[in-house]
Chains A and B, each alone.
Chain A
């Protein structure tokens, strides 16, 4: 129970005119200090909503309907907005996807970092600026003394993302949430950014919650993975375990849709069908309409997420008990 973050039965829904969107539907997971947890899924699978729920940044018409979010043993869902403001940016920080739109275009990068620092720490303006320059240097921005007074649009995409990370780690948070931090960047810069985050994680013992749809990023950076599908966790495992022994048919589909780097490029497979409508979810397993293995029970009854082998959980009727083969090729 040395967990940094423990989420239990989190339910987040959006009350739209079309109906109730079950964006996050009763998920539980945990994250330790100095651990990187990857969260993988298609868009609309509830990854970002999970992250925003942890930050308590769900806005109307969304609502966190149930569960507990224990951060260092304290339930964040019971904190007041005022208390949450002291946690956000200081204890838990988040880096968003699009660095251009995520930075205020009318303030310099330095101003935006200094403002976070001065918001949480007793620090003079002068020291704040010095610290902002140090942070920019720490995230590998060349000429930080010059860049600190630049506006976001004057920086390249990679530098902007670094500046956003600098802002997020300014107060040495214990948990860093990254929402697809490198989607807009090219591969070399992506590698540099992950190297940077990995280094910071080691230095400060940060827990990292990494949202991505890219399984290869997870393979190189994370210790554990959660696979989400239509608002639910369908599989959770240590990274090597997931790659060697994927249990859920959806995970298998995801892995098969990655082109292999070595060997013959076999025919890539895509998962047939579409992500279900989160307002009208299937009766049974959410994945059953697209699953080749689905039978009557899958269509009628929802499978529970259960531990198959230690540390490896999956929500699928077709997964054999631990003693058996472990595969899902029934």
Chain B
């Protein structure tokens, strides 16, 4: 297990390198100039050239990349150019990370609470009314963009029902956990429903797949009670592929949080990257995207480990 973990960690290095190169290139290929954005009305060519030189933006592309990479490796994520001039990017991210983490966790919980039971019921009652209804809802959940759902929720709860917690904005936990969670609820629903639709569909098909397995027939031939077959034969085996989907689509949750944070005015990392993009703050964009990549790699690793916990065939390797 330790060897496996080490192997995976070593493999993560080239992945990160390639990712970092793409991130850096994309940001630099994008139109727009941070210096011009920074100066606003005072577009003095001499000043622009000076600032460019000071920030190293006049250097050739590969030198810039090497410099950036060198700093990243030493844990220096750079200095913000426009979002909060002069502030270390690491600090900006640290301030906002807890908000995004809370949103993602809350959304995941909501998604699982919706997806797992409906997926199970849908599969067990295949082609009956409850199956059709949940599949329709899942289709809607996948199809409706979460920013749109977010706006609808704000309209309904915040504007129409006039609930203070329904109008967006963020309340830190220091001002009360209840208030904090209440304000997080709608964003988590907006983000979680679409995610739950993905998981629910996967759960349903994994259930149907498990139901058609020979060992389910064996269990039936042994007269095992139906609830026990559902629990230990069907759901237990169906969860194995579903865990992978949950892990692999965590990226969706992180990407979705960018939009959701903007709609609900949550000061999270997603909101930070949006500001970075609008104001051409290269270091901010690069750092945040790179951190998202790192998170994904670690989540994938965590998923693989969970997989081993659920599936003895992986845990024990090929000892047959």
Contacts and interface: CB of A to CB of B under 8 A. Distances in A.
Interface of A: 55, 57, 84-90, 93-94, 96, 98, 101-107, 115-116, 119-120, 151, 153-156, 164, 167-168
Interface string B201-225: 0000000000001110111111111
A220 to B, nearest CB: 26
A116 B240 CA distance: 24
A227 to B, nearest CB: 25
A86 B237 CA distance: 25
A96 B319 CA distance: 23
B224 A89 contact: yes
B76 interface: no
B106 to A, nearest CB: 30
A87 B320 contact: no
Contact of A119 (B218, B228, B318, B320): B228
Interface size class of B (residues with CB under 8 A): 20 to 34
A101 B319 contact: no
B218 A151 contact: no
A274 to B, nearest CB: 27
B218 A120 contact: no
A105 B312 contact: yes
A263 to B, nearest CB: 40
A105 B218 contact: no
B221 A94 contact: yes
13 contacts: A88-B222, A88-B223, A89-B221, A105-B237, A105-B312, A106-B236, A106-B310, A106-B312, A115-B224, A151-B313, A153-B313, A153-B319, A167-B222
A88 B220 CA distance: 8
A87 B218 CA distance: 14
Contacts of A87: 223
A107 B237 CA distance: 10
A69 to B, nearest CB: 15
B85 to A, nearest CB: 56
B71 interface: no
Contacts of A167: 218, 222
Contact of A153 (B220, B223, B312): B312
B224 A102 contact: no
B223 A154 contact: no
